[in-house]
Structure 1
Amino acid sequence: GALMGQRCECVEEGGPEQVARHPDRSLVLMWPDYQGEGTFGLECLQEYKGEHLILVGEWRRRTLGLVHPWGQSFSEEFQAQVEVDFEEVERCALPCWPLFRDGLAIWRRRSAAVVA
């Protein structure tokens, strides 16, 4: 198994171009849209055809709203699309810096079948 400081061989780093190649895997995104702005998260989501998302960061209605009401981790558009296409199945709070409210959430695609 992976120890602190060692990379797990099952994790691949990449962007939207990598996401489409692996519909059989879960998509993990951690703060893809710094300060809640940008399109990286949404671009990855649009390419993803798998069943589970694992998201780390702030989420609307679960943030202090100091920068945006939707937080500083994911764009507003990304969050809206996730809530349409997926259902949250589990969430836990994470230790974080002051004035942040990061969490880890697992989402499952709403349709039982994986998108073709």
Structure 2
Amino acid sequence: MKLPNPDQALISFEKLEGYSLNPNHAEGYHKAVVCQSALDIGVAEADEVRDALRQATLAVSALQRATQDVIPIEQNAYSQKYRLDFERVRSEKQATLRSVWIVRQNEYFPRLVTCYVL
């Protein structure tokens, strides 16, 4: 399955730097700790992660190689959520990143909900 309009994907500061990569976030800190340990990625590397997320969404939508296709995971009257896993290699480390995206009712582009190392 393709992610709708991946070229318009919104990856907000709040979701990436403020939550997924923030070791001081009250609820999301564990994601940041695992990401730092697995790939040596922290808040300072947010642009690198943002680029990797964009590349992954575009690659899957172009039917290029990815760990797996975009999987619809949750739907209700207000939105559809999708899951996209992809491999990330950095220096000599490798890990699978899981990203979750939402397309809200009456919107035609995906928004990042979360991203973390599996």
Structure number with higher helix proportion:
2
Q: From the two aligned structures, give the one with the greater strand fraction.
A: 2
Larger RCO: 1 or 2 (CA < 8 Å, sep 6+):
2
Q: Do they fold alike, i.e. is TM over 0.5?
A: no
